[in-house]
Structure 1
């Protein structure tokens, strides 16, 4: 993904997080472990396991001392890590917001099941 596309994605997610009534940053971050569990158990259809694996690879890339572009190449080496971090953060925040919406709809549907025959 190009740098401009990553920046645009991050900006869209920032605007979503800052909208009134939208789940905030902390709520979305706290949702991530629950979302990961739901995806791995096959309970959340909004995200594929392959997408989850890509996000996991992003975490591994950031934490790994081995880089595609070595960090000793001044700004270029750090820029690839920052790009992956930006993509990962925007993806996790966006996905966790969609998961929260899905979770709320399912909780409401289980508490207030649709009436049949009316």
Structure 2
């Protein structure tokens, strides 16, 4: 869902910025604006569905802002075994970083607009995954401190 959000938003913005001709009979402003609205709506829907899933499954919600989560990442990596971070998650993150840095892509950048979307999708997934896990780690860390002092 987040991938579609990024794709629609990027396509809409690029249509607004660079398109001069009508697109399927619509002026570029209407078509681009519609794609941006669809992209933002898909992103909002993804956030709402994710929060509901956390509540339904009883999963702890991540805590902390972006800066707190970024500062917690090195601690998470050091304490990954105590926290219970699967090695497969680390391997997936590493694969995503290698894919972003690598000059080899599934969709080459030579294809206008479409070539960037695979990198954007991987980058968005990586950032949201790392952010979610570090937010849950911060919650675990706080609960552990309360148990030690309590």
TM-score, normalising length: structure 1: 0.73
* Count, aligned residues: 103
Q: Following the alignment from structure 2 to structure 1, what is the Cα–Cα distance between the partners of residues 136 and 123?
A: 20
Q: 2:72 aligned to 31, 44, 51, which one?
A: 31
> RMSD across aligned C-alpha pairs, in angstroms?
2.9
Give 1 or 2: higher helix fraction. Answer: 2
Q: Following the alignment from structure 1 to structure 2, what is the Cα–Cα distance between the partners of residues 5 and 51?
A: 23
Residue matched to 1:116: none
Query: For each residue in 1:74-118, what CA deviation from the matched residue of structure 2 results, as whole angstroms up to 9, or x when unmatched?
Result: 211110000000100111111110000001111111222xxxxxx
Structure 1 segments unaligned to the other structure (5+ residues): 17-21, 113-118
Larger radius of gyration: 2
Instruction: Output aligned runs, 1:1-118, within 5 Å.
Output: 3-4=3-4, 8=43, 12=47, 22-39=63-80, 42-45=81-84, 47-112=85-150
TM-score, normalising length: structure 2: 0.59
Higher RCO (C-alpha 8 Å, min separation 6) = 1
Q: Following the alignment from structure 2 to structure 1, what is the Cα–Cα distance between the partners of residues 143 and 127?
A: 24
